[in-house]
Amino acid sequence: MSQQPELLWGARFKHGPAATLSALSRSPEYYFSLAEYDLEGCRAHAYELNRAGLLDENETVLMVDAIKQLAKDFRAGILAPIQADEDVHTFIERSLTGRLGELGGKLRAGRSRNDQTANDLRLYLRDNARKIVAALLGLQTALVRQAEQHIHTLAPGFTHLQQAQPIVFGHQLMAHAQSFCRDVERFQDWDKRCALSPLGAAAMAGSAIALHPELSAKDLGYDGACENSIDAVASRDHVAEFLFAGSMLSVNLSRISEEVCLWASRQFRWVELDDGYATGSSIMPQKKNPDIAELTRGKSGRLIGNVTAMLSTLKGLPLSYNRDLVEDKRNAMDTVEQLLLVLPAMAGMIDTMTINVERLREQAPEGFTLATEVADWLSRRGVPFKEAHEITGKLVQVCEQYNLALHEVSDAQLLAVDARLSADVRECLTLEAAINARSGKGGTAPVRVAEQIARLKTRLEAQANWVNGYAGLSL
């Protein structure tokens, strides 16, 4: 069924490569997972050869049927590379000629491994961008579901990791959802630039046989063919951009992971993680550790490293293709693998965690979070904010001196700080008053948070349509 492969490049050499060269040159095993994408390109190229007159109708049918069967066998585990296969292209040609004989060898006409490998990775990235976004939609949905339940849950908001002003907890959750929504949009924007097919570029100058790359491009779900054959095989900025989008997503995942670690701590006690999404200690029976958050936080450095590695590889390369570019797959495939591992776990953790509403409300006014309400109250009465700020600061000093909350200060103490501080100021010194006052668009007032959630749901629906509207592999 299969035959020992021949090198795709060895015709002018008097003898084969040294064992050390073969070991260095052979693709890692996981690169062969691109076989389905390579076969998809092979199918499109078969029709291109038919248009060029190199394959007649019967040969084209036989070729395409064999390609489709190879794809089925590969998915079923029946077809696998052998050690002598240098790369996925060698693997596919060996398998195809093993089934079609000389006819299988015709497929190599009019193309090069240079445009093949560029095409394989573009198809892989476009496909997996949708898978990543689909998984990210699961996390966003979990955040929205939790936020909807906590539109009125009062909580302390932080700056500098110090309690700053009261908010509703749903607003905090939605801040993370907004970041993730932009991560999706980054992948969508990236896809517009990546949606050009490199097939037809051949080695670097274009093909004298595959003269209608725009038709192959349409067949493969691209928007068109690359404008420049040299750029088509030599550029990997689309890979670097994908890796940046992935690393930015990992940074946003790391930030919410850090907060979950804090929220679940005994010092905060804001959330209780579901047993299915936490682990224990091998020595301390009482422990319940936020491992998903910690592991996700740790992955971010790895994904930042992937984009850094890709940029470092690209920075000194002359045009057009250079073998250095094999590193693109290592970085891209690792980023995809890690994100598809992390995102479902994060979604499950967020979706199942229990929010301690009473604890959040208890902490909401601590640290004089209502102090800004005093300064705003004075400003609305004509006091310049510079003065209002200083007056409020003195009031906080009094509270600290006598161990009082802001609303506990007596009328006499208020007037001693400043004659303009009347007892009426207490009207604004409630959590509800502070929350409801922040009623501009983007503010933490419950009515605004509810509107924010509704708008985000509409955006998530559009993002889901983007995922579902991609045909992907046809084999």
In the chain, the percentage of residues whose pLDDT exceeds 70 is 98
User: What does the pLDDT read at residue 25?
Assistant: 73
Strand, coil or helix: what is 159? strand
- Distance CA(263)–CA(57), nearest Å, equals 65
Q: Which CATH superfamily is domain 19-109 in?
A: Fumarase/aspartase (N-terminal domain) (1.10.275.10)
Of 358, 333, 413, 286, the residue nearest 34 (C-alpha): 333
Beta bridge partner(s), residue 163: 158
Compare 305 and 473 and report the one with higher pLDDT.
305
Residue 23 pLDDT > 50: yes
pLDDT at 7: 67
For residue 400, what are the CA distances in angstroms to 121, 157, 329, 377, 397? 62, 21, 59, 21, 5
Decide if pLDDT at 42 tops 90: yes
Q: Is the pLDDT of residue 383 over 70?
A: yes
128: pLDDT strictly greater than 90: yes
Please state whether the peptide bond connecting residue 439 to the residue before it is cis, i.e. omega within 30 degrees of 0: no
What is the rounded (10 degree) CA torsion for 128, 134, 139, 142? -170
Q: How confident is the model at residue 9 (pLDDT cuts 50, 70, 90)?
A: low
Q: What residue spans of 77-112 are helical by DSSP H?
A: 88-100, 102-105
User: What value does the mean pLDDT take over residues 360-373?
Assistant: 97
Segment 193-221 mean pLDDT: 97
Domain ranges of the chain: 19-109, 119-157+167-204+229-363+459-468, 371-429
**Looking up tokens 């804001």, which residue turns up?**
270
pLDDT (0 to 100) of residue 10: 63
Over range 216-220, report the average pLDDT. Answer: 97
Q: What is the mean pLDDT of the chain?
A: 95
Residue-wise burial string across 225-255, b where 16 or more C-beta atoms lie within 10 A, e elsewhere: bbeebbbbbbbbebbbbbbbbbbbbbbbbbe
Q: 270-305: per-residue pLDDT in tens?
A: 999 999 999 988 898 888 999 999 999 999 999 999
Average pLDDT over residues 222-244: 98
Which active-site residues does the annotation give? 160, 281
Rounded to an integer, the average pLDDT of 258-270 is 97
Q: What angle do CA 65, 67, 68 make, to 5 degrees?
A: 65
Spatial CA neighbour of 374 closest among 419, 407, 408: 407
Nearest to 436 by CA among 163, 143, 146, 165: 165
Measured distance CA(393)–CA(426) in Å, rounded: 16
pLDDT at 34: 97
Tell me the range of 22-26, 83-87, 307-311 where mean pLDDT is highest: 307-311
Cα radius of gyration rounded to whole Å, the chain: 30
The predicted structure's pLDDT at residue 401: 96
Check whether 1 has a pLDDT greater than 80.
no
This prediction's pTM: 0.93
Question: For the domain 371-429, what is the CATH superfamily, name and number?
Answer: Fumarase/aspartase (C-terminal domain) (1.10.40.30)
Output the pLDDT for position 203.
96
Nearest in space to 139 (alpha carbons), one of 296, 279, 32, 17: 296
Cα angle 235, 238, 242; round to 5: 150
For residue 170, give the nearest of 423, 467, 448, 468 by alpha carbon: 448
The predicted pLDDT at position 475 comes to 86
Residue 27 or residue 56, greater confidence: 56
pLDDT value at 96 more than 80: yes
- For the structural domain made of 119-157+167-204+229-363+459-468, what CATH number should be given? 1.20.200.10
